[in-house]
C-alpha cells in the first residue's frame, strides 16, 4: 500500500530521503520506497483554498489536484507557471504516473513516477485517488 511507503517527520529525521515535501507546519513527508525510476512527492495539509485559486480552479478536491500538478512539475522540469495548465487538465499527458492518498491527520500526498527511454517518457499519464 502506498501509505506504507511514506513517512512523516522532521526535516532532520527524513534528511536521507531524496523525494520529500515540506508541509506549511514544518513537518516533512518523504518517500521511503524504491528509486528505480524518478520519483517525486508533494504533500499538503488541507486548508482553505486561496481565493484567487478557488475562483480559477474551484475547491472540489483542490489539494489532491494541486499535489498531483506539483509532482508533474517536479518530474518534468516544468515551471510553476505551468501549474495552471496542469490543474485544468484531467490528464496532463506527461509520461508521469500518479497516485494520491490521505495519511493520518488528513495530509494529502501525491507520488509521481516517471521513467525514460532515450529521453522520452514511456509511462502514460494515469491518475488514481484513494481516500
pLDDT tens, the chain, 131 aa long = 788 999 999 999 999 999 999 999 999 999 999 888 899 999 999 999 999 989 988 899 999 989 998 998 898 888 766 766 666 665 555 678 889 999 999 999 999 998 654 333 333 333 343 33
Q: What is the pTM of this model?
A: 0.81
The strand ranges marked E within the chain are: 6-9, 20-22, 28-31, 39-44, 96-102, 108-114, 116-117, 120-121, 126-130
Residues 71-102 pLDDT 10s: 988 988 887 667 666 666 655 556 788 899 99
Beta-sheet pairing, 108-114 with 96-102: antiparallel
Break the chain into its structural domains and give their ranges: 38-130
Rounded CA-CA distance 65/92 in Å is 11
Amino acid at each position: 500500500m502506498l501509505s506504507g511507503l511514506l513517512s512523516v517527520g522532521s526535516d532532520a529525521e527524513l534528511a536521507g530521503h531524496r523525494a520529500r515535501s515540506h508541509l506549511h507546519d514544518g513537518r516533512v513527508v518523504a518517500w521511503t520506497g524504491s528509486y528505480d525510476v524518478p520519483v517525486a512527492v508533494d504533500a499538503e495539509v488541507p486548508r482553505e483554498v486561496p481565493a484567487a485559486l478557488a475562483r480559477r480552479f474551484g475547491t472540489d478536491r483542490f489539494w489532491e489536484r494541486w499535489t498531483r500538478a506539483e509532482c508533474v512539475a517536479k518530474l518534468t522540469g516544468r515551471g510553476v507557471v505551468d501549474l495552471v495548465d496542469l490543474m485544468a487538465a484531467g490528464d496532463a499527458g506527461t509520461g508521469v504516473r500518479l497516485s494520491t492518498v490521505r495519511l493520518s491527520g488528513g495530509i494529502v500526498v501525491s507520488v509521481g513516477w516517471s521513467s525514460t527511454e532515450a529521453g522520452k517518457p514511456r509511462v502514460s499519464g494515469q491518475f488514481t485517488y484513494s481516500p
